[in-house]
Chains A and B, each alone.
Chain A
Amino acid sequence: MSYAKILVPVDGSDRDACALTTAIRAAKPFNAHVVALYAHPDPAEALPIIGVPLTAEAMSAVIDGNTKIFRTAAKRIHDTIAQTCKAEGARAVAKPIREDAVTISFREVIGYPPRAIQAAAALSDLAVCAPCAGSPGGFETAVDLILTERRPVLLAVEPPQAFRKIMIGWNNSIPAAHAISAAMPFLEKAEIIELVCLQRPSAPDYGTDNVVAYLKAHGMNCSEVHLRILGTAVHTSLAKFACENRADLLVIGGFSHSRIRETLFGGITNEFLRDPPLPVLLSH
């Protein structure tokens, strides 16, 4: 079992290069195919609603303007793809195909972007996003991918050359279990797997036999670390621990708590989506 199709939603911004680099490096061990998806609305549908009727000239000016914006974005994406391919040794292809190296294709879809991205993500093995700090749209996309389409999402500021040491943030929840099975292809190729069991002083203890047995059934051995969480900052404790121990990837369940709770009280998922201190794979 391996990743064969990795989806990268792109929009022509500066964030694309980071996401594409991460995707290509994630695809490398599997020679997977990367799809750069640019979804934008129909230029004629993206008219502003302002309450006064627009003249025909104004309308066509807006449509022309929109078309121009989308064209420029598409061109920027093409350039970014060409640059990342050159830097990372991937091959740009016209149609999705798998070869003996990482291939990457560009796809432009006209439609309501969140829906178009979700539909494409449902038929992908992994989605890669750039860190979402400063991009509310990107944040919403990542949340949709994790919660609605239930796809694993990989984010990184500085993607590693290889995913050798992988840490699993374990809190005995269903999302954490999903994250492990979604990360299986990475785990199969990893050299070291560490299970970081998060333990709050107030929460009941849990055994780890079940998750160790599950990994064992997949032919994997892991070492266990128990991390006591004091206060509310799960995010900082876990991130600090993983960074100090030089993990290449952190696998965690996203939105173990409800989204409302995450938004109101701040949550580990939101923090990691905005600004991941190390490469992180999130799944719900």
Chain B
Amino acid sequence: MSIAKILVPLNGSRKDRVSLETAFALAKRVHAFVDAVFVHQDVREAMPVSDMPISPEIMQSIIDAADAAKKVAANAARESFSMAAAQCDAKIVSVPEKGDTVTTTYREETGHLRDVMDREAALADLIVFPSMAGSDSENVRQPLVDVLTRQGRPVLLCAERACKTVGSAVLIGWDGGAAAAQALTSSLPVLEKADAVQFACVRPDNTSERPLRDAKEYLSLHGVKACETLISAPKLSIAEELLETAAASEYDLLVCGGYGHSRMLETVFGGTTDYLLSHATIPIFLAH
């Protein structure tokens, strides 16, 4: 119901900086605590599986190399963290606290991202994931889908580059579906603080189960005023239209339901969510 704890997994890549800056920018609006956690797999898992026996010396040197790589990644993550925290005036604390400023902490966990998310995502209000553009994103995609669909927690997907503000002008992709409604209710703390909120309807209103009228009524009970545009005759796919609308009017956050259709439909026919994941040009708030 309220966003007080934002979890940001880091992996030592250059995208860490963007994730952190995006998280801090949003945290600033809702006065949240940002929990940055560097996740790295156990170095012993770097051992190749082969039929040939491996001599202890080689084993040791493989582990040493993996350990060195882990240290480099951890250093990079720590550096991204301290630079981003300094840039965004985030206060570094050891115990989470609630205040009028952004507070943050950094820690390291050994294990797979998926397992760490399984343990920790349920007790976070929002989980920030890096942009899925590029080839190194496959091992991040599955944890993201898990957090959304199995853990049922909202996700903030970063764009490729960090934005100065996140959540001052919000565009909501509305199709009247259950996932869209979930996204709307879980992004409410952000919407309440936003300067402008706009619905982008991707479906004519009379055909949807939860008409736009109801969504606007819900927001107005929370004191949020919203206007709307109708994407009536889409020339491009829904995902492309949404990103285009967002880019044209300088929105700095897109809110929409993730995986509103079954995973199979999305995979076979190419889903809106998958497209958004790999083409995000602004941060996207997703819920399922």
Contacts and interface: CB of A to CB of B under 8 A. Distances in A.
Q: How large is the interface on B (under 10, 10 to 19, 20 to 34, 35 or more residues)?
A: 35 or more
B133 to A, nearest CB: 30
Contacts of B5: 214, 217-218
Contacts of A33: 221
B1 A185 contact: yes
A62 interface: no
A184 B217 CA distance: 22
Given A150-B182, A174-B151, A210 B218 contact: no
Interface string B135-151: 00000000000000011
A218 B210 contact: no
B1 A125 contact: yes
A219 B1 contact: no
Nearest to A253: B122
A125 B188 CA distance: 10
Nearest to B208: A119
Contacts of B1: 1, 125, 181-185
Interface of B is mostly: mixed
A120 interface: yes
Contacts of A229: none
A97 to B, nearest CB: 8
Contact of A174 (B2, B152, B209): B152
A96 B220 CA distance: 9
Contacts of B184: 123
A178 interface: yes
A25 interface: no
Interface in A147-186: 149-150, 174, 177-178, 180-185
B223 to A, nearest CB: 8
Contacts of B44: none
B98 interface: yes
Contact of A1 (B96, B97, B188): B188
B129 interface: no
Contact of A96 (B2, B4, B217): B217
Contacts of A177: 122-123
Contacts of A210: 119-120, 123
A216 interface: yes
B101 interface: no
B181 A122 contact: yes
Nearest to A124: B218
Contacts of B2: 1, 181, 184-185, 188, 218
A213 interface: yes
A98 interface: yes
A181 B209 CA distance: 27
Interface string A78-103: 00000000000000000011100000
Given A216-B96, A219-B98, 4 more contacts: A4-B221, A125-B185, A217-B4, A219-B4
The 7 closest A-B CB pairs, nearest first, are: A219-B98, A1-B2, A122-B181, A177-B122, A217-B96, A217-B5, A184-B1
24 contacts: A1-B2, A1-B188, A4-B222, A5-B218, A5-B222, A33-B221, A119-B209, A119-B214, A123-B181, A123-B185, A123-B210, A125-B185, A174-B122, A181-B1, A181-B125, A188-B2, A210-B120, A214-B5, A214-B96, A217-B33, A217-B35, A217-B97, A217-B98, A219-B97
Interface of B: 1-2, 4-5, 32-33, 35, 95-98, 119-120, 122-125, 150-152, 178, 181-182, 184-185, 188-189, 192, 209-210, 214-215, 217-218, 221-223
